[in-house]
Structure 1
């Protein structure tokens, strides 16, 4: 565990929205406020939504109803609000905010667009009218298979405005992955693009969308954004051009949606079985995203929020609702943060005045390899916060980002929860010291703890991350699969959400995630999070990245096998694998030395940089790898399979 290096300043604390809320509710001490937030969750979330000044067309009668059990809460009972209206209309109605920037877009080629709240509101109204004219009805499912372009946000809000349900799909999916999601919820409509550019190359989408539609009998129409204006097949009876949607400028009446009415189904990939369709409602995901963005990260008017993500991952919709409901600006980026050079990310920060930058540890590790010269010379003074999610850190890249890029001025807010959570369980904020790789603790309203195998709280050693009470944003189950939802989160201990993260709380109260609990190794009776061994490996001067898995072992029960990416080909000297095994033994003890270390060119990752250890393990052991649709580099899986086959022979 690591000691804090960033400490809050009182003058900064007092400028935050969370501090103002605490003051209004009579709290001067953060810990007392947090305890109150979990002692009475109805009181807390009631005060939060009142502080957000949301527009309810019908006020709610009760904050939360738990009559169906803790796994099935109903929030804001009998209340009605449309979240698209809250994201735009209430700001457009105010002359002081209607011309405020809502969205900045930058393409792969550096071209930019800027849209005010009024601009976005007009585009959403036109799209919503066009969708309604096509026959999209309240409750219909609309799949969004789009690149990171403005139309993605417009479609999301337009679908929400008319009371339909959107399904965001990762822009890098192939047809089969898109079709799986369409079929899973019987979506009738698919919105896509002819393509986009990535690293200067054309990525086709329409062809994949056509194949997905052909595999999905429920699809009635395919709406196509001509992003590139390229020639592609056109089906006169099924395809509709985005620009052909209604051009009416008048506002469209919105659906008066119930607070608990579904808004979005976002699918999560698993290593086995079909992807899970997590259901989110109008008063769920957007409000949790907005609370975390606005009160933990302190995103508000004048701020520019930029998370390096895709709209098919939860952080994409999180950025949309978190920025708009808080009256701030989002930056949408079509390209990659290291193209055409490793300084692209820092160019974006300087050019657009980014205040809140969300990254993954893997992204920072890749940029760190290129050296500080790519950062030097850029004006990063606009930055207030680095956000980080998706995977555990190791100290070297964390400290590089904090000390070299942020100059010890910009705090790194670790943030961890998930798609089913609608945001964070654990996080950092402006009220507590921040340690490298660590979390200050649970966010307000999240009644989290760490339990051992017997269900008792544990400190100083790793245990299961659990939640003892529901929260706003908790998924309303999996789409048409109540049993799978209950088995996934509620089966191990009564009335307790088991999240699946392996966490330790140190003596100073800092929380550290060591990996997924189902990734955990147990070597000679000792539990080990894979991140612990990976952190040791990347401390070696020759190692760039590492992944650790557990494999069956006759004598130890389980042994570690590691896969390592070296910093350079020169580092691949004879005997490097054995040297790395000794290095781990010296740092962690001989009993924990890995059984084997394999050198690989790359590790299997999603586009947002998450390393998929369970896929690595399945490939190495020759087991079924499950859904690989979220992988950016499936060739890395094949390479591991070949290594395993060679090792067996």
Structure 2
């Protein structure tokens, strides 16, 4: 396939490969890039070198492939933080609110773009004073508080690389990321407020940096400790530093430097559903271009009212969704947004509705698992208890949305009229690939619809042939966008093997999800490829069976896992979370009712062989159900990696349920 290079001043090699459609695609991304401030214009818009045989053979006699090379806006320089903060102040919008922060306890702050500029400048000066510079790695282990966004932008401002870690992760999960990145600085907090109580954090941070690593300092935000009580926090003199003593004391004037477009911006670790988590490297110019463009396209249906929009992406700031649609996308577009520290049901299940009303949220972007939780708490909707009339766009991300939950979401949160951008994308792609548009006239509940401008996908079989409508295949990204991850940190071979090897001949990115076309050519995502069940030769999607289960009035959430069966290969085993009113129903009645319901909705072949009632399902921080763990728990085999779970206690709770069932049968 060779090298495809397109640009305005550089010679175009292998120009025959860049057909008119490809040239138009590149021109589209150049147009989007011009929405940003560039210090130096690029000379080459895009270079793509696919995985190709090197002429060598590996130990098994298979051809050795080169690692793909992706480059966007070569020669261009910019500063990411300037584009997210300073340019809005320079344009006279410094008094506009950038962040409405709401703490779980009810403490609130409104931070303008001018105030954010000063805070980021202080943090950038503090980082420089601590010896952090271009290319150095900073691990951020903080909850959803303003300091998390401030330090993230400050790291970007000085050309360093950030890696955010979910504040609920264990010390071991944090240790891996600190050591894998070779971080010089860890930014953490004394504690965080979660589910109505102060949860200590510093001890886990200390345990994570206790071994061999490159950490020189631990910068600590005071969140749960009152002023004057700092001495109660475990401390390593010389290494540990208080944020309020270091950052707050720094100058609030900082002149940002311009960096090359391909300068690494952050390392995002995948969920680790198989093997050790992969550190995906995203770069500056291309990532910011696609984050900014897709945020604008998806969440601002009425350009005339853009200045009045209030955006809320509910993801934890450590998740890639928050990087793209809670930090870089919204701030690059100069919008006002909400960030919330706590859990959605504290102190009551309508906390999110309360926040939407308080700040006049216009776009509400959340996970299907949260939608299902709200549906369980308010099956008939929130009624007139909160005013949700400002909502103009709804969005979902993480997994395909069950149609029943989709209808409830639009009907009760979007007044039956708000568009739902049911987005499909991944940590690897960096930004949305498939989604309905907020300007669409009609929607199919749970359907990812079609690719956004500038990217393209296919659904293919094992040989790379496009499948007909109704047939499940692999979804591949045929043309990736500028936000595509460039490599796996420290392991480019894994980048090749995980994503590009299977369809190297075509140059396609293997997303790892199954999908199918409908008769209209729209795409339906069916879950991870390894979440497909093979029952007596029939390939069944876990998502479809789960959606059938959730449509039953007793079920609020369902996880379906394949378990070994000597005759059919796989058996369908369903783990369900019930609504409170179904709690006293006998287990046998629940099982038979749900088996019959699935048979009616899909067909007898999809009936669960067993139904297990559990208090919760294990999920990653992005809301994906860890079905692999369900299989391992049911079969009693050793558990794989659990470091990515946002609710690790769910594993023990399910194990206890299964153990009690075993005892009851003996």
- In the other structure, the counterpart of 1:234 is 235
- In the other structure, the counterpart of 2:79 is 82
- In the other structure, the counterpart of 1:32 is none
- In the other structure, the counterpart of 1:358 is 365
- In the other structure, the counterpart of 1:100 is 96
Give the Cα–Cα distance (whole angstroms) in 2 for the partners of residues 278 and 195 of structure 1: 28
- In the other structure, the counterpart of 1:518 is 530
Q: How does 1:89-238 map to 2 (within 5 A)?
A: 89-95=86-92, 97-230=93-226, 231-238=232-239
Give the Cα–Cα distance (whole angstroms) in 2 for the partners of residues 457 and 378 of structure 1: 47
Give the Cα–Cα distance (whole angstroms) in 1 for the partners of residues 404 and 390 of structure 2: 24
Q: Out of 551-560 and 471-480, give the one that drifted further.
A: 551-560
Query: Is 2:236 the partner of 1:273?
Result: no
Query: Is 2:463 the partner of 1:454?
Result: yes
Which of 476, 487, 496 is the matching residue for 1:477?
A: 487
Which of 274, 291, 294 is the matching residue for 1:292?
A: 294
- In the other structure, the counterpart of 2:260 is 258
Equivalent residues of 2:273, 2:626 under 8 A apart? no
Greater length-normalized contact order (CA 8 Å, ≥ 6 residues apart): 1
Equivalent residues of 1:142, 1:190 under 8 A apart? yes
SS at match of 1:287: helix
SS at match of 2:308: coil
- In the other structure, the counterpart of 2:516 is 504
Deviations 1:224-280 (A, max 9, x none): 111122531122211111112253445223232110011101111213321110001
Give the Cα–Cα distance (whole angstroms) in 1 for the partners of residues 140 and 501 of structure 2: 33
Change (3 A) 1:437 1:545: same
- In the other structure, the counterpart of 1:24 is none
SS at match of 1:417: coil
Deviations 1:579-634 (A, max 9, x none): 32233233333233222222222211234533211221232233443321222332
Which of 595, 601, 605 is the matching residue for 1:581?
A: 595
Deviations 1:23-63 (A, max 9, x none): xxxxxxxxxxxx9876633212111112x1x2211111010
Give the Cα–Cα distance (whole angstroms) in 1 for the partners of residues 224 and 262 of structure 2: 38
- In the other structure, the counterpart of 2:318 is 312
SS at match of 1:286: helix
Deviations 1:529-575 (A, max 9, x none): 10111111122222222111112323222221111122131234543
Structure 1 unmatched runs, 5+: 1-34
SS at match of 2:159: coil
- In the other structure, the counterpart of 1:549 is 561
Give the Cα–Cα distance (whole angstroms) in 1 for the partners of residues 259 and 68 of structure 2: 23
Query: Is 2:314 the partner of 1:333?
Result: no
SS at match of 1:450: strand
Give the Cα–Cα distance (whole angstroms) in 2 for the partners of residues 375 and 342 of structure 1: 14
Change (3 A) 1:375 1:108: farther
Which of 539, 547, 557 is the matching residue for 2:551?
A: 539
Structure 1 residue 384: Cα displacement: 1.1
Equivalent residues of 1:542, 1:571 under 8 A apart? no
Change (3 A) 1:473 1:608: closer
Give the Cα–Cα distance (whole angstroms) in 1 for the partners of residues 638 and 487 of structure 2: 26
SS at match of 1:270: coil
Query: Is 2:58 the partner of 1:62?
Result: no
SS at match of 1:90: helix
Q: How does 1:368-407 map to 2 (within 5 A)?
A: 368-371=375-378, 372=380, 374-407=382-415
Q: How does 1:479-498 map to 2 (within 5 A)?
A: 479-494=489-504, 495-498=507-510
Q: Out of 615-624 and 501-510, give the one that drifted further.
A: 615-624
SS at match of 2:424: strand
Which of 449, 452, 461 is the matching residue for 1:443?
A: 452
Structure 1 residue 447: Cα displacement: 1.2
Equivalent residues of 1:289, 1:423 under 8 A apart? yes
Change (3 A) 1:579 1:416: same
Change (3 A) 1:255 1:313: same
Q: How does 1:414-433 map to 2 (within 5 A)?
A: 414-432=422-440, 433=442
SS at match of 1:441: coil
Equivalent residues of 1:128, 1:161 under 8 A apart? yes
Give the Cα–Cα distance (whole angstroms) in 2 for the partners of residues 269 and 626 of structure 1: 12
Structure 1 residue 284: Cα displacement: 3.0
Structure 1 residue 194: Cα displacement: 0.8
Give the Cα–Cα distance (whole angstroms) in 1 for the partners of residues 412 and 438 of structure 2: 21
Give the Cα–Cα distance (whole angstroms) in 2 for the partners of residues 440 and 67 of structure 1: 29
Structure 1 residue 349: Cα displacement: 0.6
Q: CA RMSD in A?
A: 2.0
Q: TM-score, normalised by structure 2?
A: 0.88
Change (3 A) 1:40 1:189: same
Give the Cα–Cα distance (whole angstroms) in 1 for the partners of residues 21 and 161 of structure 2: 31
SS at match of 1:397: helix
- In the other structure, the counterpart of 1:628 is 642
Structure 1 residue 129: Cα displacement: 0.5
Give the Cα–Cα distance (whole angstroms) in 2 for the partners of residues 193 and 114 of structure 1: 21
Change (3 A) 1:373 1:415: closer
Structure 1 residue 156: Cα displacement: 0.3
SS at match of 1:73: strand
Change (3 A) 1:304 1:71: farther
Q: Out of 612-621 and 391-400, give the one that drifted further.
A: 612-621
Structure 1 residue 211: Cα displacement: 1.1
- In the other structure, the counterpart of 2:613 is 599
Q: Out of 35-44 and 360-369, give the one that drifted further.
A: 35-44
SS at match of 1:362: helix
- In the other structure, the counterpart of 1:47 is 31
Equivalent residues of 1:61, 1:76 under 8 A apart? yes
- In the other structure, the counterpart of 1:243 is 244
Give the Cα–Cα distance (whole angstroms) in 2 for the partners of residues 256 and 598 of structure 1: 56
